[in-house]
Amino acid sequence: MLFAKKKPTLARLLLVEDEPLVAFDNEHLLTDQGYEIVATVDRVTDAVAMIVDGREIDLILADVALADGNGMDVARAALERGIPVMFVTGHCPQEAEALVIGCLDKPYTQRALIAAIGAVEAVVTGKRRGRLPEGFRLFGDAA
């Protein structure tokens, strides 16, 4: 196939989002873009359980404010397993900079979400990254 989509390196995603419409939209968008959604969960406890269970996860997209706690707990569990986390949130706490690879501000466009994941993928794989989408920040060595 001449115009086949390139398979992403960070293909297996865990979505941690408690806004059902956002979660639904992201699932469909990302699946259409060639990503495999390992699961979509809306609770910290469910996300941490999946991380601890050793599920194959390449990247976690997590909101910070969740019904049963804080996405920072998800980021801490992921850090212990070496899984990069990108927060997608209305407010990215300053202490997140030590735990996550980047933060995309809500509200965001579909294009910004795909571009932010692409920037994270470039950093993780050691490739040159392009211009960052509006509302997205990389942290630490990734910046």
Does 71 map to a domain? Answer: yes
Domain count, the chain: 1
Does 17 map to a domain? Answer: yes
CATH number at residue 113: 3.40.50.2300
Rg value, the chain, Cα: 14
Give the pLDDT confidence of 46-72 residue by residue, as tens digits.
Answer: 999 999 998 899 999 999 999 899 999
Q: How many residues does the chain have?
A: 143
Does 2 map to a domain? Answer: no
Give the pLDDT confidence of 78-94 residue by residue, as tens digits.
Answer: 999 999 999 999 999 99
Question: What amino acid occupies position 72?
Answer: M
How far is residue 72's CA from residue 104's CA, in Å, rounded to a whole number? 15
